[in-house]
Structure 1
Amino acid sequence: MKRVLIIGAGGFIGGFIAEESLRRGYDTWCGVRPSTSRRFLSDPRLHFVELDYDSPSAMARQLRGALPEGEKWDWIVYNLGATKVMVYSDFNRINYQYLRHTIEALETAAMMPARFLYMSSLSALGPCDEKNYEPYRAGMIPCPDTRYGTSKIKAETVLETTPGLDWIIFRPTGVYGPHEQDYLMMVKCIDRHWDFGIGFRKQLLTFIYVEDLATAIFDALERGKTGKKYIISEPRAYTQKEFRRIVSDALGGKWVIPVRLPLWMAKAASVVAEKYGVFQMKPSTLNTDKYKIMKQRNWNADPSEAQADFGFVARHSLPEGIRLTVEAYRRDVEIARAAKKAGKGGKE
């Protein structure tokens, strides 16, 4: 039985990674902060180790203390990261420094795994061809234009320059599925008959359903090549109009009013939302860094290397994945309504 440690196991993607690890029969451990929600980590077969990402020496002690002396994890999946922050320096601290601290801790504890899979992002590569819409490919030279993407490429460099570490890097496109919040905002808007987009030029979007990403992680650990970077995506792109129609159909054929905002207006809204987030002391989904990602016209992606090396297949097309996401969304709405009704009943 392989022993797997998932660092950054809390939250949307982490829960699905842990579930897939258990499904395959692995001894599954979750690396979390003391404050991390375990909402999606409720299976009693899971083991936990609490980690102090700010201190490599403390992490080394915590890792050593989790297992019997001389033992270690066979594989580590590093899923820790921030996609939105209140202060941009936090991208560097969370996405880059925490990974560097983790590698230092593993070296100090003499617990380097046989394989280490790092969850990066297409944003690490920067903008793609917006003239001919050629897809992202694994061998592209990175040129990130966002603080988020820069922090990811810096983290990738840590792995590449660590002697004796057998790493695999995933660069997934937009990950969606039950409980994910950013795409859920788009679903909610369409449920209310509105679809907001920015820019008037054609935009190609790509997606990967979260269960397909979790499956790909363990297929790569089992059969992929170390020292390689893989793009993980459904092998076709969609326009905003196609995405809107797919979501509308999943919601029962809702009529939708498409609204296209010019880039200057979207940028102004991003600035305002960012400053409001700082005022509220919480990160805003819409900000000037995210604006650069949203205005990008080409997210077409080529996952052929992952297909060739470990048989990657996106089993859920966007219509099927959105159907499952909408079903989960509706269940959550019904649960919230029932809880609210029960609360009112108790007061009466």
Structure 2
Amino acid sequence: MRKKILVTGANGFLGFYLVKAAIQKNLEVYAGVREGSEVSHLKDIDAKLTYLNYSDLNSLKENFEINAYDYVIHAAGVTKTYNNQIYRTVNADYTKNVALAAKSIAIKKMVFISSLAALGPTIFGEENVLLPDTAPKPITSYGRSKLIAEQTLKDLKNLEWIILRPTAIYGPREKDLLTLFKMINRGLEIYLGKKKQTLSFVYVEDIAEVAVQSCFADTSRECYNISDGKRYTIQELSGIIKKKLKVKTVKIIIPIFFLRLLAGITESVMKRRVSIINKDKVSELIAENWFCSIEKARRDLSYTPQFTLDKGITDTIEWYKKNKWI
């Protein structure tokens, strides 16, 4: 009999790939979504839709008991909102409810998709690396909410879990970096300030693969940083995109003070709407160093990234063009 796995946030960017990766492992997959979610892209996939009310613990427990899941990958969450309390509610409180529901049926393993933002960046320099046990200093409300969720899991006894902290995830269907692709495709290469930065990235199929693989790992109650293991600059990222799109660009440097001013104005005007540029986003974009070590994941989870940034960008652009996103 096939083992059962629940993937929460299955309608999202990463969730879609988690579902596909779980199917490839011959698991009986339940795609967890909220009522009213857009699920048309899941209709041709061999997964059972299950509707979850994350705010109702009793409802979650009932769902878990009826479906008798063996594993849960919890990827549901919010990455952008106008209200910091929403981050706390969705990313932390709802994670606690999912964990309590998982604990109630003595699930084999819960894999929580956190974020490198829960650790926060470090300072620039080749010797500075974010390790899984680096003291967390998140600089955004999103990162703080993920850190609270992590601590919630750590405080729960008799629950087998693994926490994965992916860096910036990209790939087909992703919409945040899509803005950068579009700008470069229009001939604009924009940089924020003149300070040096170190960035890290992970292709969506790599994080999906290691997340599913983590369900069967011997290790438990451990945290792992996930990237492709390489260091990049924003210039390298833009250069690869420009090369793949075969376009010439004009380079523009936006002063940080102007960006902060724009973020403040945007937040004031937008009020109860999500703005593309806000103070948290600026802090994240200008942070000096997001490079993380993946050696622990290599050792414990047999994690081997399959996509370099060059290959991942190539596949992403092909998908964007085929689906007329750029």
Query: 291, 305, 316: which one pairs with 1:314?
Result: 305
Gap change, CA 1:200 and 1:224, over 3 Å in 2: farther
Aligned counterpart, 2:15: 14
Aligned counterpart, 1:244: 238
- 1:197 matched to 2:195? The reply is no
Aligned counterpart, 1:79: 75
CA distance in 1, matches of 2:164, 2:11: 19
Aligned counterpart, 2:48: 47
Partners of 2:102 and 2:110 within 8 A in 1: no
CA distance in 1, matches of 2:167, 2:129: 12
Query: 78, 81, 99: which one pairs with 2:95?
Result: 99
SS across alignment from 2:260:
helix
CA distance in 1, matches of 2:213, 2:102: 24
- 1:255 matched to 2:248? The reply is yes
CA distance in 2, matches of 1:133, 1:271: 34
Q: How does 1:1-348 map to 2 (within 5 A)?
A: 1-65=2-66, 67=67, 72-107=68-103, 110-131=104-125, 134-223=128-217, 225-252=219-246, 254-278=247-271, 281-333=272-324
Gap change, CA 1:247 and 1:12, over 3 Å in 2: same
5+ residue gaps, structure 2: none
Displacement of 1:134 in angstroms is 1.1
Which protein is bigger by CA-based radius of gyration? 1
Partners of 2:166 and 2:225 within 8 A in 1: yes
CA distance in 1, matches of 2:269, 2:201: 29
Displacement of 1:229 in angstroms is 0.5
| Structure 1 residues 179-202: Cα deviation after superposition (integer angstroms, max 9, x where no partner) | 100101100000001122212111
Amino acid at match of 1:88: N
Partners of 2:8 and 2:74 within 8 A in 1: yes
| Structure 1 residues 272-325: Cα deviation after superposition (integer angstroms, max 9, x where no partner) | 2323433xx531232111111111011111111111112211111001100111
Amino acid at match of 1:128: T
Displacement of 1:111 in angstroms is 1.8
Normalising by structure 1, report the TM-score: 0.89
Gap change, CA 1:62 and 1:308, over 3 Å in 2: closer
Gap change, CA 1:17 and 1:273, over 3 Å in 2: same
Displacement of 1:131 in angstroms is 4.8
Amino acid at match of 2:46: R
Gap change, CA 1:131 and 1:20, over 3 Å in 2: closer
SS across alignment from 2:191:
strand
Gap change, CA 1:181 and 1:59, over 3 Å in 2: same
| Structure 1 residues 240-264: Cα deviation after superposition (integer angstroms, max 9, x where no partner) | 1111110011112x11122221211
Normalising by structure 2, report the TM-score: 0.95
Gap change, CA 1:176 and 1:44, over 3 Å in 2: closer
| Structure 1 residues 128-159: Cα deviation after superposition (integer angstroms, max 9, x where no partner) | 12355512111211121221111011000111
Amino acid at match of 2:256: L
5+ residue gaps, structure 1: 337-348
Partners of 1:133 and 1:298 within 8 A in 2: no
CA distance in 2, matches of 1:95, 1:290: 17
Displacement of 1:44 in angstroms is 4.6
Aligned counterpart, 1:339: none
Amino acid at match of 1:263: I
Aligned residues: 325
Displacement of 1:39 in angstroms is 3.3
SS across alignment from 1:137:
coil
Gap change, CA 1:267 and 1:166, over 3 Å in 2: same
Displacement of 1:101 in angstroms is 2.0
